[in-house]
Amino acid sequence: MSTVISVSGLRKSYGSTHAVDGLDLTIEQGEIFALLGPNGAGKTTTVEILEGFRDRDGGEVKVLGFDPATKGRTGQIWRDRIGIVLQSTADAGDLTVYESVSHFATYYENPKDPREVIELVGLSEKSDALGRTLSGGQRRRLDVALGIIGSPELIFLDEPTTGFDPEARRAFWQLIRKLRDEGATILLTTHYLDEAEALADRVAVINRGKIIEISTPALLGGRATSLATVSWRDGNELRSEKSANPTQLVAQLSSQFGGEVPELNVKRASLEDIYLEMIGGTYE
């Protein structure tokens, strides 16, 4: 396993605002890594520094072994190895899907076959349609096609499924997993906690310019060991109890009711509950 992104002590200020305030992060090859955080937490600034769009004020950053602030020919060699899918764009409306994708292929040393990429993102039937005739979801898939045409080792995905219907999101997640299975590392930012849970190997929660925690979705914020809430109906009354040993409690209830427990429900904190608690905790 080699390290694809390493960040230590990253700092960036705008005036007197510390957008990123001593951030550390390591992302390994082949991971799908999700960056979570409320608006204004420093997420976008961090990602844009990693993408080479913004300069930093301090700290060490290496992306695929290069400093993303590198310009010129070396910068181009580095850009040849990464793919960036930005937030919603609306450009190239007067070009067909195929024209856009095959044109972007000319920028790279080892591009994928444009037809294959269009097929991969599920736009084959729209190959000859103009960009401006695409739906929001199709438009997003074109963005992804343009981001991956250069066979990138590292892909940045910024809120990739905003505005998707549930079915399109599932299809999109499959696509992301497929790219990872082909060996790419993926850094994802998203507002959807279920998306992070479904896709990410690890998630980082960022707030006020710092990483609060890095963990797997299942373990984040002590989620796996948090108390479970067991609820059931007792006569006319709905009852619930928080328990560290829910299995034991259910067994107890089962013998008490002589089998089936009416309206039994065992619920653990969702990723969203944990996340809201985490970012809420830092707002005094």
Partner 1 sequence: MSKPTALSIGIQRGKLEIKQFMRQRESVVFTMLFPLILLAIFGSVFSNSIAEGVTFSQYFVAGMIASGLVNTGFQQLAIMIPMEREFGTLKRLRGTPMPASSYFIGKAILVTLSMLVQVFLLLAAGVIFFGVNLPQSADKWLLLLALLVLGSACSTVLGIAFSNVPKSGRGASAVVSPVVIVLQFFSGVFFIFTDLPQWMQQVAAIFPLKWMTQGARSVFLPDSFATREVAGNWETGRTFAIITAWLVVGLIWAVRSFKWERD
14 binds partner 1 (CB under 8 A): no
Taking Cα atoms as reference points, which of 49, 80, 33, 38 lies closest to residue 187? 33
Query: Which positions ≥6 away from 109 have C-beta within 8 Å?
Result: 80, 150
Report d(CA 42, CA 61) in Å as an integer.
Answer: 16
Residue 134 touches partner 1, criterion: CB under 8 A: no
Instruction: Tell me which residues in 39-78 interact with partner 1 (CB under 8 A).
Output: 51-53, 76-77
User: CB–CB of 250/282 below 8 Å?
Assistant: no
Tell me the closest approach of the beta carbon of residue 174 to partner 1, in angstroms.
24
| Least distance between partner 1 and beta carbon 107 (Å) | 5
- Span of 97-105, 133-141, 240-248, 267-275 interacting with partner 1 by CB under 8 A: 97-105
Exactly one of 55, 60, 107, 165 binds partner 1 (CB under 8 A); that residue is: 107
Own/partner contacts of 18-22, CB < 8 Å, gap of 24 or more, are 18/208, 18/209, 19/45, 19/209, 20/45, 20/46, 20/49, 20/56, 20/209, 21/208, 21/209, 21/210, 22/59, 22/209, 22/210
CB of 144 to partner 1, least distance (A): 12
Among 14, 17, 40, 89, binds partner 1 (CB under 8 A): 89
With contact defined as beta carbons under 8 Å apart, do 153 and 63 qualify? no
Q: Of the two residues 109 and 272, which places its CB atom closer to partner 1 in the complex?
A: 109
Nearer Cβ to partner 1, position 91 or 272?
91
The single residue among 146, 176, 186, 253 that binds partner 1, judged by CB under 8 A, is 146
Q: What are phi and psi of 28, to 5 degrees?
A: -95, 160
Strand 202-207: give its sheet, edge to edge: 82-85, 154-158, 185-189, 32-36, 202-207, 210-215
- Residue whose entry in the numeric block shows the structure tokens 């390591």: 26
- Quote the least distance from Cβ 135 to partner 1, whole Å: 18
Residue 80 near partner 1 by CB under 8 A: yes
Task: List alpha helices for 1-67, DSSP H.
Answer: 43-50
Q: By C-beta, is 79 or 141 nearer to partner 1? A: 79
- The interface region with partner 1, picked from 86-94, 210-218, 228-236, 250-258 by CB under 8 A, is 86-94
84 is a site residue for partner 1 (CB under 8 A): yes
Applying CB under 8 A, the residues found at the interface with partner 1 are 51-53, 76-77, 79-80, 82, 84, 86, 88-92, 94-95, 99, 103-104, 106-111, 130, 146, 150
